[in-house]
Structure 1
Amino acid sequence: MPRSGVEARRRLREAALDLYRERGFDQTTTAEIAARAGVNERTFFRHFPDKREVLFDGEPTLRDALTQAVAEAPDGLEPLDVLLSAFRKAGRVLEETRPFSEPRLALIAVTPALRERELAKAAALTEAVADALRERGVADRLADLAAHTGWAAFHHAAQDWVDDSSRSLDEHLARAFDDLRALSAPSGVPPEEA
C-alpha cells in the first residue's frame, strides 16, 4: 500500500494507463484502477475526480512551466520565439516522463472521451499562455493567435516525437516552429499571380 499521496497518485496513473491499454478506457472502472494500484476506490477519488482526469494529472505543472517560461523569456523576442523557448522548457517534462507520456498520448489519440478532455485542457492551457504573452505586452489579438498557433505546433511536435523517437522532442519542436515560419514566408510569387 503506498504511504504517501505522491506515491499513490503515481501508482494510480500507472495502473490506469496499464488497464486502459489492456482493456480499453470504457471497459475500465475506477475500482479496478484503485485495486491495481493497491489502494481503495475512496483513495482514487481523493486524488482524481474521474477516470479521465488520472491521465491529465500533470496539466497544472505544465501550465505553470509554460507561463513561467513565457514570463522569463528574454526581452526582444518575437511571440513565436518566446513560445518556442517556453515549449522547449515545458517539453522537458514530457521527455523526463516518456515511459508514461508516450503511451498516454497514443491512448488519447484513439479514445474519444480522452480527446474531449484533452481539448478542454488544451483550451485552458492556450488561454494561460495567451495571458502570459499579454503580460509581456503582446496585443490581445496577436497573443491569442500566437498561443493557439504555438499550442498546435507543440501538439504536432509531441505527436511526431511519439511516432519518431530517433529525434528528441526539442528537435521536433524546432522543426514544427520552422514549418510555421515557412508557412508565413513569402514564396516569391505575388498572391495575385499564384
Structure 2
Amino acid sequence: MARWQPNATERLAVAALELFAERGYENTTVIDIAQRAGLTKSTFFRHFQDKREVLFGGGTMAGLVADAIAAAPATATPLDAVAHALDALGQQVFTQDRRAFVARRRAVIAATPELREREALKGLGLIASMAGALKRRGASDLTASVAAELGALAWEIAYQRWTAAADGDDFSRLARRAIDEVQAASSAVTG
C-alpha cells in the first residue's frame, strides 16, 4: 500500500458510514473502517480519535459559523449575523453533492444512541460558537444566547428539511426560510 493516500479523511468517513449502515455502529471496528477505505489503522488514528468522531468532522462547522458571523455586515442584527452563518454552511458544508451522504449520516446517527449523544454535544458546541461570535460583535450575553438558540433551532429545521427533500432545494434557502419562521413564531409567542 502506498505511503500517502489522497482524500484519506473523506474515504474514512464514507467507509465508516457504509459500514455503520450495513453492520451497525456497535458491530464496526476501526480496523474494518480502515480496511474498507483501503488504509491502515494508524492512518485512521492520524485523522480521528475514535470511530465515533469519523462522522463529526472535528470543530470545522463551529469554526466556520464563528467566522461567518464575524464576517457579517456591521449593520446586521444578531439573528441576521446567524443567518449569514447559515448561508455559509449552505455554501461550504451542505452542498448538493453532499446531500446523499449527509442524509445517510443523519439516518445512521438517529439509529445509534451513542452517536445521537455525540450529535447533541456537537449542537451545544455550535450554539456556544454562535453565542461567542455574537458577543465578540458586541451583543449582550442574553441577546447572544437567544440569537444562538434561535439560530440553532432554524439550523435544525433547515437540516431536517434539506436531508429529507427530494426536490433539490438548497440549504441556504431553507435556512433563511427557517429563520423567518422562527422569528415569526417568536413574535407570536410574545404577542
* Aligned counterpart, 2:30: 30
Higher relative contact order (CA 8 A, sep 6+): 2
The CA RMSD measured in Å over matched residues stands at 2.0
* Aligned counterpart, 1:159: 160
Cα distance in structure 2, aligned partners of 1:142 and 1:180 = 15
* Aligned counterpart, 1:105: 106
- Tell me which amino acid in the other structure corresponds to 2:64: A
* Change in CA separation of 1:84 and 1:25 when aligned onto 2, cut-off 3 Å: same
- Provide, for residues 82-114 of structure 1, a one-character-per-residue CA deviation record: whole Å limited to 9, x for no partner: 111111111221215223222112221222111
* Aligned counterpart, 2:14: 14
TM-score normalised over the length of structure 2: 0.90
Give the alignment of 1:1-80 within 5 angstroms: 1=1, 3-4=3-4, 7-57=7-57, 59-80=58-79
Unaligned runs of 5+ in 2: none
Cα distance in structure 2, aligned partners of 1:27 and 1:130 = 38
Cα distance in structure 2, aligned partners of 1:5 and 1:122 = 31
Unaligned runs of 5+ in 1: none
Bigger CA radius of gyration: 1
- How far off its partner does 1:79 sit? 1.2
- How far off its partner does 1:26 sit? 1.2
- How far off its partner does 1:127 sit? 0.8
* Change in CA separation of 1:150 and 1:5 when aligned onto 2, cut-off 3 Å: farther
TM-score normalised over the length of structure 1: 0.88
| 4+ aligned runs moved over 3 Å, structure 1 | 1-6
- Identity within the alignment, %: 41
Cα distance in structure 2, aligned partners of 1:140 and 1:36 = 46
Cα distance in structure 1, aligned partners of 2:69 and 2:174 = 19
* Aligned counterpart, 1:172: 174
